[in-house]
Amino acid sequence: MNIYHTLNQTIEYIEENLENEIEYKKIAQIMGMNENTAQSVFFVLCDISLSEYIRKRRLSNAGSDLYNKDTTIMDIAVKYQYNNATSFSRAFEKFHGIKPSQVKKKPDGLKIYSKIVFDENVEERKSIEYSIIEMDEKILYGICKKTNNEKIGKDAPELWKTKEKKYLKKYGYFDYGMTVYENGLRERCCEYWVLYDKKIDEKEFKKVVIPKSKWIMFRINSQETSDIQEVADRFYKEFFISAKYKFSSIPELEYYHDDVVDFLVPIEE
């Protein structure tokens, strides 16, 4: 499967239906995945969620229509699947920075959000080696930091550095890192944790229960931040888009031991 060809087909389906209801079930069929995985893959490779892409393409076209056509705001709102003129006007102003009623007078304020097009000749890399393991319930104790997709590359190593400096002499090295996502789609992370695999009585530490589960494990023969981030990036951009496993909503883990790191992603039975 050439994922970029499939994504171009998905984009064409969206373009043909910007004025109609867009069925996520149909998108999933085009991509050959379940709906959740299709949305996650779209986000990983397009760097924008599926719903946000559709919204921006509709509002972009709506601005052009309002400027070029003699039509009412309500007609355009209905055309691009908004229930009423008020919600459309609010979304339009947030996107373009001007009200729909100002378009004729201030057309230079309109923004264009272009259709995404993928180069289908991009050479896809070989899949990375992995194994499936099962772990019993784990009770860990850790500290978290609020983060997001843009900041986690800096926040994660910074949390390790500051907390290990504070607790290394008393408790030793942390055993796990953990990335928490906003929802099961795994589109946006919201927290990063460092955790001990033993009970810690400090008030700063919180108890975290990791339920019994099966995991896809990628072993990284290094504990360097850059090597771990490279494997995580390859997982989402290469393995995740073609794997047939159903990923669960449990956070992903990094297990640090014996000078290696096991990058662990949970899957359902």
* Contacts of the segment 104-110: beta carbons below 8 A, 24+ positions apart: 104/66, 104/67, 107/67, 110/63, 110/64, 110/67
Is the separation of the CB atoms in 109 and 96 below 8 Å?
yes
DSSP string, 211-256: -SEEEEEEEES---HHHHHHHHHHIIIIITTT----B-SSPEEEEE
Higher-confidence position of 213 and 122: 213
Residue 216 CA to residue 266 CA, distance in Å, equals: 6
Higher-confidence position of 234 and 190: 190
Q: Collect all residues with Cβ–Cβ distance below 8 Å to 84 and sequence separation of at least 6.
A: 74, 77
Higher-confidence position of 3 and 263: 263
- Tens-digit pLDDT profile for residues 92-129: 999 999 999 998 888 777 888 989 988 877 655 555 67
Q: Is the pLDDT of residue 35 over 90?
A: no
Six-digit token string for 168: 């290394």
**pTM assigned to the model:** 0.65
- Tens-digit pLDDT profile for residues 69-98: 888 999 999 999 999 999 999 999 999 999
Domains and CATH numbers, the chain: 3-109 (1.10.10.60), 131-267 (3.20.80.10)
- Tens-digit pLDDT profile for residues 133-151: 999 999 999 999 999 988 9
The percent of residues in the chain predicted with pLDDT above 70, rounded, is 95
Residue 244 CA to residue 248 CA, distance in Å, equals: 13
pLDDT-derived band at 41 (thresholds 50, 70, 90) equals confident
